[in-house]
Amino acid sequence: MPKTKRRNAAKKCWSESFGYYGTTIRAAERTPGGVLYLLWLDKRGKQQKRSLRHRDRKQARRQALEIANAMASAVSPGTARFVTVERPQEKAAEPLTLAEGLARAFEPLKGLYPRPTKHAKQARKYADAAVHLLGRDTTWAELRPSSILYLVRQLARASRNGEGAVSAEKTCVILYAIASWLRTEELIPSTAAHSNSGWKLRVREEWRNTTGQRTQAVARPRHAVDEVSALFAALPQADARLRLLVELAAELRAGQAVRARRSDLTLDAVGGYERGRFIVYGAGKKRGETVDLHPELRTLVDEVLSTGYLAEAEAAFQRGEVEDYFLFPAGKLKGGSVPLGRATAAHASYQAMRDLFEDLEGIAGVEHRRGRSFYGLRRQATDLAPEFSQDARVLNSISGHADSATREQVYQDKENERVRARAAETRRSMRQHLMDRTAAEPDAIAA
């Protein structure tokens, strides 16, 4: 076995040297816990290196020993197959603990979450709870499926009446997400903290066994069709920004649509009705969508840009005084308009638009229920759309969901125009259906 020595206790990277002076080869990390390399000097005294493409130190030792013995035999044939370490080595890297991993993941500039969003803050809350129960000094290499089950049991025993199953599952999801990022950054071994297939089912089973309570399905309330009709009928009385947002993207993700700029709106003769298009950009796994404007929607857009709350910003845009502006600016409307400065400053927050949506529910006489808001509209649209079209691609285009078959995205680009056009037709038919129900309601009451 080779002897090892410490050179500098302050350094973190592991390395170990083999062979004699002149034929020494060193196995080393470039970053703590990172991919291992072999380093040696060629005949000209120039350092050479080769990546081993793994992080297994035992395997690296074997590989280095083989090459060191080969080099020694080449210099002195018949040399016995043993090596001694002529150069002291660096201190072995300490395995990353859970607490240290969290600190890395939540660094503002270099971490997993670039901005302190609501999701990032919630993720930190879940991660801190996990580390508290598993132990700050536990290493990521020690995080095994059994550790996750232990974590779930601890959370289950602390719950009241079996509540908190969803939060427990989210805690595990965040922990695995951080582990994946740490592996990508080569901060922990590539074999550390992997999840097993079907782990979520196992977590739910553990929760049920520990609490005696089944995990409840996530509540996804939606507006009834009559409520949606009432909401659309009340839109002209609501905040103008909310009206435009709902008309453009009721079936899509409002949180993505509210970030839209003027450059995302095309008024050229394109689309199924040749009335223009509105683009909602996706984020991460949440895909966006392109909405073809139908005639009534184009009329509303023209009204908003010419005499509505965006008139001042649009005039400046047409004169070339501003390169772009937000379609849904932050702040309150002043006299039904938005000053140019605010139109170019920032978009309204999703929470602000939710508050305006709650006001719309009040105008429409629709009961406000927690968890509905824009989601209630989108979920009802998902149910309603199949009554107007059976084409899966049309339905996916309306709601912004991923296609069920990758080949339809990759090999049917020529049909995308047709699919978007049919989505616009279906969207228009749905609007007309809802408005017809509202118009027929007084007659039904009179009868």
Q: What is the pLDDT of residue 438?
A: 76
Q: Is residue 327 part of a domain?
A: no
**The two three-digit tokens of residue 79, written as one number:** 């040399």
What are the tens digits of pLDDT across the range 251-295?
Answer: 777 888 889 999 999 999 998 889 999 988 876 666 677 888 999
β-bridge mates for residue 255, sequence order: none
Give me the domain span that covers residue 34. 1-94
What are the tens digits of pLDDT across the range 16-71?
Answer: 887 666 667 888 888 877 888 888 777 777 778 888 888 888 888 888 887 777 77
Q: What is the pLDDT of residue 135?
A: 92
Q: Is there a contact between 34 and 55 (Cβ–Cβ < 8 Å)?
A: yes
What are the tens digits of pLDDT across the range 231-256?
Answer: 889 989 999 999 998 888 877 778 88
Q: Are residues 378 and 424 in the same domain?
A: yes
Q: Are residues 280 and 363 in the same domain?
A: yes
Q: Are residues 361 and 249 in the same domain?
A: yes
Residues 6+ apart with CB under 8 A from 211: 156, 159, 162, 165
Q: Are residues 116 and 55 in the same domain?
A: no
- Using a cut of 0.85, tell me whether the model's pTM lies above it: no
Q: Are residues 55 and 170 in the same domain?
A: no
Q: Are residues 117 and 103 in the same domain?
A: yes
Q: Are residues 180 and 261 in the same domain?
A: no
Q: Are residues 171 and 267 in the same domain?
A: no
Domain stops at, among 94, 111, 133: 94
Domain stops at, among 40, 60, 94: 94
Q: What is the pLDDT of residue 325?
A: 96
Domain stops at, among 186, 211, 236: 211
Could you count the other beta carbons within 10 Å of the beta carbon of residue 372? 23
Q: What is the pLDDT of residue 311?
A: 95
Q: What is the pLDDT of residue 83?
A: 44
Q: Are residues 53 and 142 in the same domain?
A: no
Q: Is residue 348 part of a domain?
A: no
* Total domains present in the chain: 3
Q: Distance between CA 4 and CA 90 in Å, rounded? A: 9
Q: Is residue 343 part of a domain?
A: no
**Residue 267 exposure: Cα atoms within 13 Å on the Cβ side:** 13
Residues 6+ apart with CB under 8 A from 128: 102
Q: Are residues 63 and 107 in the same domain?
A: no
Q: Are residues 164 and 87 in the same domain?
A: no
Q: Are residues 196 and 118 in the same domain?
A: yes
Q: Distance between CA 225 and CA 437 in Å, rounded? A: 9
Ranges of residues in the chain with a pLDDT under 70 are: 1-12, 19-23, 72-93, 214-220, 283-287, 376, 378-419, 441-447
Q: What is the pLDDT of residue 386?
A: 52
Q: Is residue 338 part of a domain?
A: no
Q: What is the pLDDT of residue 306?
A: 95
Q: Is residue 331 part of a domain?
A: no
Q: Is residue 67 part of a domain?
A: yes
Q: Is residue 302 part of a domain?
A: no
